[in-house]
Copies of this chain bind each other. A is one copy, B any other.
């Protein structure tokens, strides 16, 4: 491996000068710079960023901790993160927690050891596994899910609004009353806020439902499936379902299909998060589509500001309104 010393020798200058010339620092004469550049080229010199990172205490790397890159919402968010980060010379390490707080905590610990300059986190807990992070002063921006009692900036979609709009649509346009919600766990802000929005729409319409209509579990396909089966098996005569997110929606559809329940004829369905490609091919699901790419891109910008050490005292809270896309699954033509 050729180092800065080899280049220095070849160019007949000191390593310090090579470093300056290569980094484009000013105090270097043009002649020297050319000599160094030529030597570096001849030797196919490639600087070692690990050494630089150690010295500068900056790695130009950020971590993105999410539940699953395979979830289209996170895929798009991740792309937004990668694009914006690399635009600024940062690379991104991706971590999938599969909604397991233990895995999340382990990844956070590992990323800290790797000296990432900052972290983007969609936490699968209410911050419990992030307690060790709170003690450090490494920059963090929360994405998709906020943690109320933390001081970190966040960029999220407006869950309350999306849920409200979706539920209200079912009530007003389609005259549904018996609307169930199949929600993620209450430790997550998205779940709580979507339930709030759902409740507000019902309240405004004067609909009173048994608590059984609210199913709280996990953002997992299997939970959507189970919950839907239970709802269909019970004597609730559910007319419509609000799936807490796209993964749950998949389970809901599977359950409905198995039981011969047709969507939307027998059961109206609305959901959070869109499936981009699917919707391009088969515009079917009525959904609250969050600006996933933008969430990722904005989060990176905010993180980089913190990394640069810009003095921003207050916690920044960015809440982006989802787009309500009316298609067929709710019963619209």
A131-154 residues with Cβ-Cβ distance < 8 A to B are: 135
Instruction: Tell me if A83 counts as interface (CB < 8 A to partner B).
Output: yes
Whether B72 and A69, one on each chain, are in contact in the complex, defined by CB atoms closer than 8 angstroms, is no
Closest residue of chain B to A249 (Cβ to Cβ) is B281
Task: Give the interface residue-count category, chain A.
Answer: 35 or more
Whether A70 and B79, one on each chain, are in contact in the complex, defined by CB atoms closer than 8 angstroms, is yes
Least Cβ distance of A206 to chain B in Å? 34
CB contacts (< 8 Å) of A232 on chain B: these are none
The listed residue (B44, B61, B114, B278) touching A282 by CB distance below 8 A is B278
CA–CA, A106 and B250, complex, Å: 39
Q: A13-21, A92-100, A178-186, A194-202: which one contacts chain B?
A: A92-100
CA–CA, A47 and B112, complex, Å: 9
Closest residue of chain B to A114 (Cβ to Cβ) is B49
Main SS at interface, chain A: helix
A75-116 residues with Cβ-Cβ distance < 8 A to B are: 75-76, 78-79, 82-83, 86, 91-96, 109-110, 112-115
The listed residue (B51, B91, B278) touching A275 by CB distance below 8 A is B278
CA–CA, A250 and B44, complex, Å: 43
A204-239 residues with Cβ-Cβ distance < 8 A to B are: none
Whether A72 and B114, one on each chain, are in contact in the complex, defined by CB atoms closer than 8 angstroms, is no
The listed residue (B51, B79, B250, B284) touching A277 by CB distance below 8 A is B250
Least Cβ distance of A1 to chain B in Å? 8
A238-294 residues with Cβ-Cβ distance < 8 A to B are: 246, 250, 253-254, 275-278, 280-282, 284
CB contacts (< 8 Å) of A9 on chain B: these are none
The listed residue (B50, B94, B277, B284) touching A59 by CB distance below 8 A is B50
CB contacts (< 8 Å) of A51 on chain B: these are 54
CB contacts (< 8 Å) of A76 on chain B: these are 70
CA–CA, A46 and B54, complex, Å: 15
Which A residues are closer than 8 A to B by beta carbons? 44, 46-51, 53-54, 59, 61, 68-70, 72, 75-76, 78-79, 82-83, 86, 91-96, 109-110, 112-115, 135, 246, 250, 253-254, 275-278, 280-282, 284
Given contacts A69-B69, A69-B75, 9 further A-B contacts (CB under 8 A): A44-B135, A46-B113, A50-B50, A54-B54, A78-B94, A82-B95, A92-B93, A94-B94, A250-B281
* 8 cross-chain pairs, A with B, having the tightest CB-CB distances, nearest first: A278-B278, A49-B113, A50-B115, A49-B114, A50-B54, A91-B93, A50-B53, A70-B79
